[in-house]
A and B are shown apart, each in its own frame.
Chain A
Amino acid sequence: MKYTILIFLILFSAPSWAQSNTQNTDRFLDIQELKTPSGIPVWLVEDHSVPVISLQFAFKGAGSLLERPQQQGLTQLLSNMMDEGAGPLDSQAFQQALSDHSISLSFSGGRDQFGGSLKALTIHKNKAFELLELALTQPRFDAEPLERMKQANMSRIKNSMTDPNWIAARLMNDRAFAGHPYAQNSGGTLSTLPTITGDDLRKFVKNEFSRERLMIAVSGDITAKEALTKIDTIFSSFPHVKREMDLVPTPLKNKNTIILFEQDIPQTIIKIIFPGIRQGEQDYYAAKIMNHIFGAGGFGSRLMEEIREKEGLTYGIYSHLSQMEWAETLSISTSTQNENVKKLLSLIKAEANKIKETPITENELQNAKDYILGSMPLALTSTNALSSIMLSLQIDNLPATYLDTLDTHINAVTLEEIQAVAQRLLDMDNALIILVGQPQNIDNTSIVTTLPNVE
């Protein structure tokens, strides 16, 4: 298998070109909400422009957050093993069947869900659906590929240990979500991976893959009728299991702390983490726009303008709103030469203060809205992108009409709301800061020498 990660698009867009079409009946994306004969909900966008079909699905809740500490990496390993043999086909035979028909099949273990993605040419659709069904209903988890995948994961971890960005992300999760399963290493550790067995994987599939958790999105060169029939064949045998999670939301931990991991490199990797905001909260759309103006927008964002364009201190600086099932953050990522870390941190603080204290201009607000709404169609350029968007909406509990009406929410945001949400979110004294490198003149750091949940 290949290390493919499902990228859940940041849903942050709306139609500008659609605005010029004034009919209300015009939808941004013509999502059909369907149900199979056996009752499985499916979202579909038919698009016959290229002879390609994409199917993406997720079992929401069946993610790495279910792993016990000694099982870290189980869902990662499961995602590697789902295409390593099923039914009568052993690992090589299964891979050969995919390859002979140019079928892309990949699985991904996220924190909150287990996902899968199938892409095939129309001429090979039947084979593609057949192999997906086989993989999901009769996975083999043979010893040979299992050991091979464990070795590949351990090698990946050893390789990552040289990567300062990976180290910073590992420390960020460990500290920001301390005490919650999100703090664990979903990629597994050098000591947990060897102990995971084929039976562990079987048990996870049996207990956690249920109809209640299933979400499906299909796009491309296929009709509704055919899609529904195929989906029933593939998925209807999963059991109905209603499950409550015994987890509670985890607020940001280790606030007002600077964590330092010393590494002999010329540049320090910097991550700053603040408490975030949830979709559904009143300030959510204001936060999206504020984040765009502050640091998510790349060139033109305030952080990029001040710190890269004026000062030449970094190649890139970005802010990012992230939302998981049980936690949400706003984070800033950047890097600079070791001697400039202090200056860069103080510039970020000055920018945070500025957007909190001084209202942004009408012009800035309008530009941000124009971009957010105007850039929406840019996300619709491939068959996979369409199914990926639909799956993200379902995972985030959003309606299929979400993108059709997003412009109303975005356009309603005011200057005052932007300032208020900046004051709520950008509190530098409440941030968790992660540094990897050899930063100079930084006081009060808490130095970490061993990476948590890696070895």
Chain B
Amino acid sequence: MKFFLTFFSLLSLLPITVHAALFNAESIQLDNGLQIIAIPNHRAPIVHHMLWYKAGAAQEITGHSGVAHFLEHLLFKGTNHPERPLAAGEFSKHIQKLGGRDNAFTSNDATVFHQTVSKKHLKTVMQMEADRMRHAIPPEEHVLSERDVIIEERNQRTDNNPHARFYEQMRSALFSEHPYGRPIIGWSKEIQAMNSTDTKNFYNRWYHPNNAILVITGDVTLDEILPNIQSIYGVIPKGTDIPIRHFPVIPDFEGKTVVTQHESQIKQPQWTRGYRVPSFHKNKEDALALQVLENILDGGATTRLYKKLTVEKKKAINVSLSYSPNNYGTASLWISATPAEGTSLQELETEIDALLTDLIAHGVTDQEISEAKTRLKNSAIFARDSLSTPAQIIGQALVTGSNLKDIETWDIQIDSVTKDQIQNVSNRYLKTGEQETYNYVTGYLLPKEETQK
């Protein structure tokens, strides 16, 4: 059997040495501006090929939410490439025939197309992906039926699900007047009005090599694949006039903002708070401190939030905190909790606020910091135990304004976060109680109040 024999060479890199790069990614930029990342992973004779466009829901024009995602769907509806036209639906079918899998996703900051195939089919996949960078012109009848599919997608993901509708409202409140406040899939009314002119404009504005990043991971090296990349992707002309991604600067709230949502299907109330905090791109130092803080507060069953609120005080069934620093614009941090039987959402909120107040007043311990850093650094090693995860991490970081060096040395940077920095971000971003202005929105998801009989 082949692919378990030859990897001892990698072993020398494996111990956690401070100076080793996390993913050993290789990078180069083509003359037409396309950025190439190769991440060797020789475990199996397969490759994961991802094309990231630096344009997502946040680049939509106000009133036209959902267009980036709609376009993502339409890229599977064929091309009018002069030499290799492809009929609607043939893209995925062809990948399957090669024994591969493909899909795509849209986020606030990016639209991403990806395939996993046997190494021997990499060239074919590159050709197919390159062809639809400039030649995807879906026939009008497919545009309309695909819009119906997206209406069903929205029903399935959001409108059937009170938790999803609540989160949508929370985001909309937290990022009011900011494109991140729009649902990526789009508002229902705006989805119904989407048409091929909208998608064409978006496509022509953003889908160019100089606004994209190609990430290939698997049983390859950059040297080995660069000639094909050059001849396939390198010949696509550079796009002109690609707009600079620009976001409004939104002020903090002058009053406390609260979203209270009553839903007939809800049997288990939920408390949620979203904070606007810096992203890695906007403030690297704060973002790193927030990552360590996130892990100190919610790094498992023995860390602050769960230990205090669930194990010791029995006020919450569960409680979680999540912070994702990889946004091009500002980022958000979410705390979410389910109250214990007999505990009201107000009581739960008081407990969470008290925990945050204590954090701000007394800081965290050296031991908490050291444990959190160890968990974070180990998570980076576990990430390598996957074909696609390193590609996702690197792609996501690069489309949101980070550079490869930041990613490869992330463990070292995490190590350098100090107690003072953690104290500082706690104090600046997680304040509770009466303030001049607020960077957060608090939400209550509750059952429908019974009408008195």
A residues at B contact (CB < 8 Å): 1, 16-17, 20-21, 26-30, 45-52, 91-92, 95-96, 98-100, 102, 119, 121-123, 144, 148, 151-152, 154-155, 158-159, 161-164, 263-267, 269, 297-300, 305, 308-316, 335-337, 367, 370-371, 373-378, 380-384
Check B317 against A151 for contact (C-beta < 8 Å): yes
Q: Note all chain B residues with C-beta closer than 8 A to A154.
A: 341
1/0 per position for B87-103, CB-CB distance to A under 8 A?
01100110011111100
Interface residues in B384-436 by Cβ distance below 8 A to A read: 384-388
Which 8 A-B pairs give the minimum distances between C-beta atoms?
Answer: A374-B99, A312-B148, A312-B145, A102-B378, A299-B92, A49-B7, A30-B1, A158-B268
B1 to chain A, nearest CB (A): 4
Given the known inter-chain contacts A158-B268, A299-B89, please indicate yes or no for A52 contacting B44, CB distance below 8 A: no
Let me know if B20 is at the binding interface, CB within 8 A.
Answer: no
A79–B93 Cα distance when bound, in Å, is 41
> Out of B11, B93, B119, B150, which one reaches A299, CB within 8 Å?
B93
B residues touching A (Cβ–Cβ < 8 Å)? 1-4, 7-8, 10-11, 14-16, 42-46, 76, 88-89, 92-93, 96-101, 116, 118-120, 144-153, 155-156, 159-163, 263-268, 299-303, 307, 310-311, 314, 317-318, 338, 340-341, 371, 374-375, 378-379, 381-382, 384-388
Chain B residues, CB < 8 A from A100: 371, 374
B127: shortest Cβ distance to chain A, in Å?
A: 18
Closest to B310 in A: A148
Contacts of A264 in B (CB 8 A): 264-265
Q: Give min CB distance, A373 to chain B, whole Å.
A: 7
**A261–B328 Cα gap in the complex (Å)?**
44
Contact B386 A382 (CB under 8 A): yes
User: Shortest beta-carbon distance, A9 to chain B, in Å?
Assistant: 14
Q: Is there contact, CB below 8 Å, between B385 and A48? A: no
Mind listing 11 A-B residue pairs with CB under 8 Å? Answer: A46-B4, A49-B4, A50-B385, A52-B382, A92-B301, A102-B375, A121-B378, A263-B265, A312-B149, A335-B155, A381-B387
Are A378 and B264 within 8 A (Cβ)?
Answer: no
Residues of B within 8 A of A123 (CB): 15-16
Complex-state Cα separation, A376 to B45, whole angstroms: 11
- A contact residues around B301 at 8 Å (CB): 1, 91-92, 95, 99
What separation, in Å, do the CA atoms of A423 and B313 have in the docked complex?
60
A399 to chain B, nearest CB (A): 16
Residues on the B chain within 8 Å of A119, using CB: 382
Contact yes or no, A315 B149, CB < 8 A: yes
Known: A20-B120, A162-B266, A370-B99. 15 other contacts (CB 8 A): A27-B1, A48-B8, A98-B300, A102-B382, A122-B14, A123-B15, A266-B159, A298-B96, A300-B92, A305-B89, A309-B145, A312-B147, A370-B98, A371-B96, A374-B118
Complex: how many Å from CA A376 to CA B44?
11
- Most A CB contacts (10 A, CB to CB) among B152, B265, B307 go to B152
Smallest CB separation, A379 vs chain B (Å): 9
Q: Are A381 and B118 in contact, with the CB atoms below 8 A?
A: no
Which of B146, B150, B156, B303 has most A Cβ within 10 Å? B156
Name the A residues within 8 Å of B1 (CB-CB): 26-30
For B162, the chain A residues whose CB sits under 8 A away are 162
Residues of A within 8 A of B317 (CB): 151-152, 155
The reply to whether A377 and B44 form a contact with Cβ atoms under 8 Å apart is yes
Whole-angstrom CA separation of A312 from B381 in the bound complex? 43
Least CB separation from A54: chain B residue: B385
Q: Which residues of A contact B7 (CB under 8 A)?
A: 47-49
